[in-house]
Every structure is written in C-alpha cells, then in structure tokens.
Structure 1
Amino acid sequence: MNSANGAAVVVGVDGSEPALRAVRLAAAEATRRHRPLRVVHGFIWPLLRVPGSPPAGAPPGGGLRHQAEEMVSAAVAEAEAVAPGLPVSGEIIDGQAAAVLLSESPTATMIVLGDRGLGGFASLVVGSVAIQVAAHADCPVLVARGTPRTAGPVVVGVDGSALSRAAIQFAAEEAATRDAPLHAVHAYTHPSSRGPGDMQPLVYDERLLRDEEEQILTESLAGLAERHPRVPLTREVVRGRPVAVLSEAARTAQLVVVGGQGRGELSGLLLGSVSQGVLHHADCPVAVVRSPA
C-alpha cells in the first residue's frame, strides 16, 4: 500500500448506484485514514472514436463528455455530503475503466469501486471491472459489496501465504482505524500441499492435521498483538471450504480482507479462486490485498 503523505483514496464512478455506494464507502475510508478522496471516471468514448462533444447546432450542455462531467460532479457532491470537510477532487480520464483505475493504483492508498457497473451483465454478481482491478492493482482494492456496517469485526482470511500475511497487516490497520476487533479465520479441507508435486496422503490423523492447521494460523499471526496492542484479536480454525467459511463470517462483519492469491492456488491465477469466491458471495465490503501493506 502506498503510504506516501497525501496519497489519495481513489474511487471509480460510472453513474450507477453501485458506484455511488462505492463513493460513500470511499469517503468514509478516506476520512478514517486522513487522506484526500479522488473521484475518477474512465471516459471510453474517444477510444471508440465516438465524439464526446455535442454536434453543431445541438442545445448547450449536451454531449457525452458533459454527461460525464455531471456524473463526476454528482459523485464529488455525494462524497462531500457524507464526509463534510474531506478534500475531494474529480477527474475524467480518457480510457477504459479498469485500465484507468489500474493506472491510478501505483500512487493510491487504495482503490474503491462498486461490485457492478452500468456495463455489467445481469447474471454477473461482481462485474468484470472489479475483478480486473482486484487482480492487477498495485494497491489494496476495496469492493462495495453487501450491507455496509459500522459494527462487527474486521475478518481476515489466513492461509499461511505471503499475501495472506500482507492481508493480515492490512486488516489490522483497518481494525485499528475503525476501532473494531479483528477476527482471523483459517479454513482447511484436507492436508495442505507443502510444495509443487506434493502428494496428499490418503489416510491421515485428524488430530495431527488440526494441530498443523492451528500452527499455520499461529505463525501467520506472530507479532501482530505487539504491533497492534489495542486491536482485540480472536482467531478461529475451521474445517470447511474457505469461501463458504469466510462468506458466513461476512454476515456479521463490517469488512472481509483476503489476499489476492493464496497458498495452493495455480500461479497463473492473478486473482485466486478464494478471493474471487468471497467477492461473489460476501454480504459486506471486501478488500483484496495483492501487495504488502
């Protein structure tokens, strides 16, 4: 996560209701982190060679670019209304939405976006822009999913991977800024693979397996209490599918945090199956962390 002074929380907008929910979520996040908010709209029409200005003789105030300007102004006004005093700016950038947001990610504290936009298909629970940005961004990505809550824990999925440890650190910082408890969850279904080509045993001792999984969680959380002594920490090891376990935890959480790719997932997956599954099923906002916090 970019920690430079003044790095903004960036929110992508497209005029949809999910985007407005993202604006409200982003405004709250920027306020908690004492960061400015930057509202960005990817204006795709020049790439398609569609003129953005109104044709000659058309009434003033027409044209696609003017509509985009009104959209961004409305989003800025929404942010200022829910977070008075927050520094908010807006910009229209020529380009496809995901590409524009990804270009913002190296200098952003965080990118926030809705789970679906105007271009989403009705059958998609989470839109392609959210998936693309979460898979490639150089900063944490917060997706406005489910029910916004100001009570409940911050839940983090733990699997022992490097990105899982980055997610834990990010989740602890979120819990601290929200004055919320942190609930670390490790879910498992069978003995873990320890490396490429490992064969999983057909027969194993359930008690020993449980001890090994408990050890993964303990090692992943080592030093966290010392770094964040004021954050109440609970831990849980559950036998079950990680997506189902984390989605159940999300029902009472104010935020779920996952790593972009976990242990045991195919290296070609830029966004792991667990993080994608949680994005599709969680009933609260979801943060995806792909780089160290």
Structure 2
Amino acid sequence: MTNYTMVTEFLLESFGVEWKLRLLNSVLFLLMYLITLLGNLLIIVATTLDKNLHTPMYFFLRNLSMLDICYISVTVPNACITSLSNYRAISVMGCATQVFLVIYFAIVEIMFLTIMAHDRYVAICQPLHYPVIMSHQFCVRMTVLSLFSGLVYSGVHTGNTFRLSFCQSNAVNQFFCDIPSLLLLSCSDTTSNQILILISAIVVCGGCFIFIAVSYSRIFSTVFKFSKRERGKAFSTCIPHIIVVSVFLTSISYVYLKPSATSETIQDIIPSVLYTIVPPLLNPVIYSLRNKQVKEAVRKVLLRRVFTGKW
C-alpha cells in the first residue's frame, strides 16, 4: 500500500519570495481593495438616497455593488495578511469556505451582468414596454433567483471538490483556494470533477454569454437607427458593460477550462486577479461613475456629508 500523509491544512501562495516584493504587491492590492470599497459604497449610498435613481437599472447596479464588496473581500484581505505575515496556512474548512464563496459570488455576478444586459435591451429596443417588463416584482424575483441559483451551483462544486482525498503536497499555486489548484493536489480520480466543471461552464457561463451577445446584437442593430447624439448616449452605457463582461468571462473561462498540466503559478495568478479583483474595481469606475445621473447623486451625497455631517 502507498503510504499517504493526509492533508489537514493548505499553504496559499504569497505575493513573492522577497519581503520588499511581498510588501509592494500587498500595498498595491490593498489600494485596489480600498478603491473598490469606496467606489461601490458611494454607488450604494447614492442610488439608495436619490429617489431619481430608484429605477430597475440602478436597482441592479446597487445589488452589483453590494455583491462586488463581498466578492473582493473574500480573497484580497486574507491574501494581503498572508503575504505580509508570511503565514500561508489555511485550514481545510477555511479553504472550503473560500471556494464556496468565490464560486457563489462569481456566478451571481455573471447572472447580474446578464440581467443588466436584458435591462439595456428592453430600455433601448422596447422603451414603451420597459415599465411593464422591468417591473419591481420582476427585478426582485430575478435577484432572488440569482442568489438561490448561486447557492446551489457553488454548493454542488464545493461538495464535489472536498469529497476528494488530498495527500502529500498541500501547496496551493494560488493566492486563494480555488478548484483548479485543489484538483492538482488530489490523489483521487478527478475526471468527474473536470466533466462537471466543463458541463456547468458550458450551460451557465456559455448560456449567459449567448444571452448577452444576442441582447447586444439586437441593441446595436437598433442603435444604428438612432441619431448621432442618441447613438453616443446608448453606446456610453453599453460599451462599459461589454468590457466588464468580456474581461470577467474570458479570465474565468481560462482558469477553469485550461488543461491542468499547463498550470504555473504566475499564469494562474494573473487570470485569477482578472476575474476576482478587476470586475469589482471596474464596475463603479467605468460602469457607474461615468453616468451623469450617478455622478450628480454622488456629488449631492458628498456635499450633504460635508456640510451636515449626515448621509
């Protein structure tokens, strides 16, 4: 019989070997984290207090901002602490929790972005029916459906991953626990896991991508019939959304669908940053704060805070 040493904890990857490099990268990631928190908090406060922004579009923007705060908080703070303290250990339960939350927030983010593409399609292509189609009841139901679907999806993948046996090496080639890195450490047969990832990626991520692509193809065919001014206004709201969706889906697909044999630390970390850190950072910067209504609402909130001390 093979003599295995069962894993009781995992070792996460730090932001470098030398202290100066770890400090520099940790400060950079911490700045990105604080900018993300500030930007998304401003969106939440502004869209909540300004009654002019109580529309379906800003309802989903507010939900997306709350989701992004939770999403980036799962990985970055712990990664910075790990890198600065050089204490890389994380328990199996802690690793499973991180896997569950990362998958959960990622899937819900994809669904929110898909619903927001539908919102833009209805607003531009069917403006007269917009209040009926994008009713408050519909928005709430779609939000609840996204949250519940995320629970089921992440629960299935997390459970299927941690039913495996982990032995010998416990070094995760990533700054947080994710499924592709963990499958490389398993001494069990991971074929069923890889098939499940492939099928779920095709069904969920592929389905959302097709829905978004069809929505924007119809949007663009309608927008080209507008005047130059109206066309520019429509593009200003659609292009940033396409950028966020493209970065998010491309990076997450690369991480989860690439062959495990080609796994290298640097090649794994960069795409993971693109789907765990960049979208929460980009959403308030290019998708919300470029909007005149949101910028005006944020300005009012800040002025109220400065002169009255209240939100």
Superposition TM-score tier, normalisation by shorter sequence: under 0.3
The structure, 1 or 2, with the larger RCO (C-alpha pairs under 8 Å, 6+ apart) is 2
Higher strand share: 1
TM-score by length of 1: 0.26
Higher helix share: 2
TM-score by length of 2: 0.25
